[in-house]
Amino acid sequence: MGNEGPEPDHPELAEVAAGQIAGSVTAVIVRCVERVAGQPGVARLMERAGDPRDPLELCKGTTWTSYDLAVSLFRAGIEVTDDPRFAHQVGEEMLRQYEGSEVAALFRSLGSPGEVLRNVALSATKFSTATRLEAVEIGDDYAIIEAWAIEGFERDATFCAYTAGILTQSPVLFGMSPAQVVETRCQRHGAARCNYTVRWDRSTAPDADPQRRIEHLEAQLSLLTKRFESMQKTTRELVSAEGLEHVLAAIPHRAAHAVRATRHLLAVYLAPGDLRLHEHGFASDDEARLVAQEILATEPDDRDGSRLIVDVTSGTRHFGRLAALYPPGARFFPAERRLLEAYAATAAAALNVATALEEARRQNETARALLALASSLTDARTVDAVAQTLATAIPAVVGSPRASVLVWDADEARLTYRGIEGVSAELEAVMRATVLLPEETPELQRMLSAPTPMVLDATDASPALCAVLHAADVERVCIVPLLAHGDFHGVVTAPIERDFDLAPDMWERLQGLANQGATALENARLVEQVHHQALHDSLTGVPNRLLLEDRLGTALATANRGGKHVGLLFVDLDRFKAVNDTYGHGPGDVLLQQVAYRLSQSVRASDTVARLGGDEFVILLSEVDTVRDAQAVAEKILEAMRVPYEIRERVLSVSASIGVTVATRHDDVESLLNHADKAMYRAKSAGRDQVVIAA
């Protein structure tokens, strides 16, 4: 075809020659042909394209293909399906296939179709290293995108159509209808670059349609669940792999599914001088060894962002590094570092278990206990569940009849018992009520400044710790910190007899257990954070509509059974648009944050303040006696809203219109929200800055 790609004797282009088109593209080509022409059509596709590979290989999302061969596959697909729009349809399906995956989450994290297209140059490297895209102009509902083939390649008509198909799908990521795309100039016809005008209809966004918004939020919640389950599956696969080499070989392949790149490399030391290399996408072992030397350097070169390199570390043990590599000029999303670090942390935990097995086969009971712990930790979804799982495993690992896990809360600056094993119910209640503060506990101060294992005697303990140790009838306790990526997450403790001589392997066993526990705690906190973000407004931190509807449904069910009433206040700021127009969105956002704070301070802890979007808030009053009680709360809120706001050396005044309703036994979530909303609009119509009770 005349496009032989970069010459192999050009070092700066050597990495491009390894593969230019992602396996996700060839997989879609095969699927689109199979959908129209079945398996016989797939066979004709491979024959006409001159591709000798097994079609199953093309369907692997991690197998890259040359640009020329991809063009041949596109052209053959058009012939086999007898559809001139075949390449365009492949482009349309490219992003659809990622629904529920990490790639879609990365794109969606950019916030809007315009932001996806603004980052299109970065996004394009997920699919092709032989072509480039660039956003020339971005508007609220349109974008102008340029595309071209890099030096050494010729732009093909199939790639023009394929690119247009991809560009139609950026709004779909956010629940909107596909965009309209028009190619106004083409590189094939003499232009320096292809030029695309992309337009989308914002009125089709989920926010414009309550039903679409619910479906979109449900899809996001489903995505978060799938991401968590994917991480669990990876953890189980790595931990349960048959032998150390199986574990090592699985790591780069699993990472390749989460962080898209042309090549992945794991380089770890299991012992001094014992370097193990496992790769995905490299042309030869020699090439992998050369890159391994580079990524294991004290300060590895990330090649201007085209290499993503993370440490494989568990606790204080540094195994090596895991890397995802693009050709020069490509980039990674910031969120992809966190993803690769999560897989590296999971890999490190698996390596910890695997190396512990190989080093301690003579200690079968301990090894089995550590494996059981690793398996149990994969099912622990919360910090409390991880802490209790860890505490339950300690006696089997170190032989102590009792154990506890204390978790550090960095925001509150305190240490509390979250996992307890082998004590009476009375003592457990005392321990769980104990709060250790750095200013009152010198031992905790030392642990925070220099987190190292220690043995603590009750006779030398500070008063705060001494009270707990005496209550537990413990004279001596072994304490090991929980560390992950240098962060302090808490401690594990195991009581020991005063005359007990601590063997070195006990420290090793406790440290190995603590390493697994720290990684699990870090992952559990990440899951809790993701779950919190899915149910709370990102600007104000108050619950969003999804969480409000859940709590409102629960409150209605409880009220119907208990004879109590549920009140609802719909609060809308008056003339908030004028604030944004006059002072900008920055002060407007600060104002919304202060409004959310005032609303939260005006109601009980059992009530819920939620933000629906824009300047609309809803307050769920979980228990009221009459509608007058709800009205009294609304009047109190109205007074609080009238107090001027100090924002960036400006004093702003804003009022609110509030609709009030109290549920009857016939109301459901939708009807109650509708009643309050209508009452609020009556308050607006009546002159604003007032409370109106729903009819």
CB–CB of 197/189 below 8 Å?
no
Distance from C-alpha of 313 to C-alpha of 484, rounded to nearest angstrom: 8
Catalytic position from the list 156, 537, 572, 615: 615
Q: What is the 3-state secondary structure (H, E, C) of 617-645?
A: EEEEEEEECCHHHHHHHHHHHHHHHHCCE
Torsion-angle region of residue 14: left (phi > 0), alpha (psi -120 to 50) or beta?
Answer: alpha
Residue 615 is a catalytic residue: yes
Distance from C-alpha of 618 to C-alpha of 675, rounded to nearest angstrom: 12
3-state secondary structure of 100: coil
β-bridge partners, 275: 269
The closest of 665, 674, 687, 564 to 618, measured between CA atoms, is 674
Structure tokens at 682: 């009556």
Structure tokens at 669: 């979530």
CB–CB of 350/204 below 8 Å?
no
CA 289 to chain centre: 32
- The upper half-sphere exposure of residue 369, i.e. CA atoms within 13 Å in the direction of its Cβ, equals 20
CB–CB of 184/197 below 8 Å?
yes
Q: What is the 3-state secondary structure (H, E, C) of 192-235?
A: CCEEEEEECCHHHCHHHCHHHHHHHHHHHHHHHHHHHHHHHHHH
Distance from C-alpha of 454 to C-alpha of 480, rounded to nearest angstrom: 7
Q: Identify how many contiguous H helices and E strands the chain contains and give both numbers.
A: 24, 21
Buried b vs exposed e over 175-189: b needs ≥16 C-beta within 10 Å?
A: bbebbebebeebbee
The closest of 306, 294, 292 to 261, measured between CA atoms, is 306
Structure tokens at 84: 């001139």
Q: Which residues are catalytic?
A: 615
